[in-house]
Amino acid sequence: MIRVHQVICDADDRSKIREQLLKKLKMPSADLIDFHIHRRSVDARKHEVRFSFTIDAKVHHEKKYLKQKDVIKKPDEKDHFVPKGEHPLNSRHVVVGFGPAGMFAALALCQHGYRPIIIERGASIRQRQKDVDAFWKGGPLDPESNVQFGEGGAGAFSDGKLTCRSKDPLLRKVLEELVQYGADPDILVDAYPHIGTDAFVEIIENMRQAMIEMGATFHFHAKLEDMIVHEDRLKALIVNG
């Protein structure tokens, strides 16, 4: 499969995109087996609104089209989990904080058969909404459940823009997980994906429920204040380290 950048079209219409793709590649219709949109952005320069698409296409005579400008081999963007540890862990993992990093760390553990324990200093997202709303209406600040602390992290009360300049293949996995738990599928193709705060709340709840069904345990209003390493484990770390 090939990836074609800068396919310019005046409408977000599949038949017109196909037409422009064939034109850009100087390709006969018979060579195009199938295609789908990988990325979509809007170009409004020169007072003319047009769409710029990045297209993944399955074609005949692939090597021929790879020689053209703006055409590359479609990269492998799937998440290939590679265990890096050498010793199995028999105890349950603990994930501290349920902001974006904690959410996806816990989800990855669940998906690979673990049953993590998640602790979060703030409230669950629905209770957190009530606490934040009360504060905005002039009520007292709850130091543990507010815009900064609680399920979903500090971004839960943003406008839902997803901004990441990383080229890491895991970025695609994150977007696919968000769609699975309720986000609009358009975030998979939009150059500047946007979820929206209201949708994000439901996504967080759906994700948490899925993790519970996979064996995770959640503790809200819980802090990590100290860590104790078992003596035998400490000795092993010293020997192996």
Exposed/middle/buried for residue 78 (C-beta within 10 Å: 0-12, 13-18, 19+):
exposed
Domain with CATH 3.30.70.2700 in the chain: 2-73
Per the CB < 8 A criterion, the answer to whether 152 and 125 are in contact is yes
Please count the other Cβ atoms lying within 10 Å of the Cβ belonging to residue 212.
Answer: 14
The CA-based dihedral angle spanning residues 128, 134, 135, 136, taken in that order and rounded to the nearest 10 degrees: 110
Question: CATH 3.50.50.60 spans which residues of the chain?
Answer: 94-220
pLDDT digits (tens), the chain, 241 positions: 999 999 999 999 999 999 999 999 999 999 999 999 999 998 877 778 899 999 999 999 999 999 999 999 998 888 777 777 777 777 889 999 999 899 999 999 999 889 999 999 999 999 999 999 999 999 999 999 999 889 999 878 876 667 665 667 778 888 899 999 999 998 888 888 888 767 888 999 999 999 999 999 999 999 888 877 666 665 555 555 4
pTM metric for this prediction:
0.77
CATH architecture under which domain 2-73 falls: 2-Layer Sandwich (3.30)
Structure tokens at 144: 């543990």
Tokens representing residue 139 in the block: 């009520």
Fold of the 94-220 domain: FAD/NAD(P)-binding domain (3.50.50)
